[in-house]
A and B are shown apart, each in its own frame.
Chain A
């Protein structure tokens, strides 16, 4: 009868150098990795936990100075405005306002600066001030504000828009959330 010596539990034969990871090691590694991530999140501008932002429909108005009246009249409600690159939509026109273009000049009589409308050129064209209001679904993120296809929209910042009959650079003068 052959006697087989039972293998003792926990007794390794020739396995003395193997790396054993137990539950305590795993817990320590998780804690350390978390501390490193928190340090990076807090002390650097890189963010692991930053959110992607929320989507919100906004209306913003862009003013263009010195636009020819023919180009200004070519823009209509419902037109799509593209970015300066010409491929990404920056909104749909919700209203168009055309005003006489004025220039600020010094008036010796009053001692102050006054507005004067620009006269027509030799061809009879009078430059106008074009105000276009656009509605678009933007991404809002605290610290970055509103962005549309990667373009940040804010009051006081320049905006380059392209329409079918006009392309130019203007300045954003208002921005509102549409609820």
Chain B
């Protein structure tokens, strides 16, 4: 069993370019700290996040994956975040069935003005994933180098 006190989770965050990525930038501009375990990948819209990306992340050893998009009704592309929401609710329930706990996956709406919310969300998410410990369920040892 891994030493839980020193466990640093690996979190992949997909952020849409228009709201959440800008929200993350704002968190930075306001110096609102969140753990360095969060690594952000920029996508044009939350609807660009293919479930394959999330499976790949878990397969490669990610401990948590979070998708951030514009608030419902505010999508830069009108409806992208609705697609993301539907797709992810299906995917997450399937992942839950496979043993990836619900707390390891999340969809969150963060606007470009919500730097504080971004930092708070990340702090909370990292805390929850840390409590769960490392993801062993979907990790593919053949992918580990």
Answer whether A and B are interacting partners: no
Could you list which residues of chain A lie within 8 angstroms of chain B, going by C-beta atoms?
Answer: none
Could you list which residues of chain B lie within 8 angstroms of chain A, going by C-beta atoms?
Answer: none
